[in-house]
Structure 1
Amino acid sequence: MEWLMYVSVAIIAIAFAVLVFYIIQTLLSLKKTMENISHTVDGMKSQVDEISKESTQLLHKTNELTEDLQYKSNTLNSVFHAAEDLGHSFQKLNGSLRKVSETVSKQADDNAEDVAKAVKWGSVVMSFWQKWKTEKTTKQADPGKEAN
């Protein structure tokens, strides 16, 4: 029975050797996996650093653009205020012109009879002047008629 003990110990030793061999294979595979993960993490770190730099630059450019837009908006606000003031001035001017027009119209209505009389008298005066001018021209053309 002694040989059974030697055979059992030999089987246990072989099983232990096979177990150690597979554990070593597993650990080597795990080592390669960890190295790949390490390289991947290093690559990701450099990419994150680049993204961080680009994000910072983008943020600075965005801030500059925001400041520029704010400045231009403020500039346009002054233009709109000036346009609003101009609109108010035109409204006041229109109101004044309307009042003057109404005043002139009212005075024209009030003085319409006097104007009609003045036009009538002006027409009569023009008629006499035309007759006088015609007679004067006729007398100058024929001086013998004046003696008759």
Structure 2
Amino acid sequence: MQIILYLSVALIAIAFLVLVIYLSTTLKSLQGTLTSVSKTLTGLEKQLDSVTSETTLLLQKTNALAEDIQHKSESLNSVVDAVKGVGTTVTKFNDTLKNITDSVDKQVDENKEKISQIVQWSNVLLELKDNWQARKQAKNKIGSDKGKKVRSH
């Protein structure tokens, strides 16, 4: 029985030795994997730092761009308001001009008869003036022809 006991203890020791060798191999493999993961995480940390700094710069540039767009939008709003004011002024001017034109048209229609008479009288006066000038020239010509005849005798 003692032999069985020694054999059992030897078998347990051999099994424990195999277990320790297997665990040692597994732990060495796990150590290599963890070392690789550690290196990868270190690389990722560096990349993450780089991405973080680039993101910060991008955010600052985006904020500056948004502020610039805001200022330009405000400037554009004042230009649009000014153009709107010019448009309103032109519209009022056009309305005033239309009112004046309508008023003149109404006055012309109301005074059409008088205007027609004024034009007729103007024509008569122009004809009288032309006739008067023609007579004056004819008198001057007759007077100058007599003077020529008197001198030639």
- TM category (shorter chain) comes to 0.7 to 0.9
The equivalences for 1:24-39 within 5 A come to 24-39=24-39
Give unpaired runs (5+ residues) of structure 1. none
Name the count of aligned residue pairs: 145
Q: Which 10-residue stretch deviates more, 1-10 or 126-135?
A: 1-10
With the length of structure 1 as denominator, give the TM-score of the two structures: 0.86
CA distance in 2, matches of 1:103, 1:12: 126
Q: Which 10-residue stretch deviates more, 5-14 or 77-86?
A: 5-14
CA distance in 1, matches of 2:106, 2:47: 86
Structure 1 residue 49: deviation in Å? 0.9
Q: What do you get for the CA RMSD once the two structures are aligned?
A: 2.0
Q: Give the SS at the match of 1:142.
A: helix
- Aligned residue for 1:60? 60
CA distance in 1, matches of 2:110, 2:12: 138
Q: Deviations over 1:37-73 (max 9, x none)?
A: 1111111111111111111111111110010000000
The equivalences for 1:33-112 within 5 A come to 33-112=33-112
Structure 1 residue 89: deviation in Å? 0.8
With the length of structure 2 as denominator, give the TM-score of the two structures: 0.83
Same amino acid, percent of matched pairs: 41
One-letter amino acid of the structure 2 residue matched with residue 24 of structure 1: S
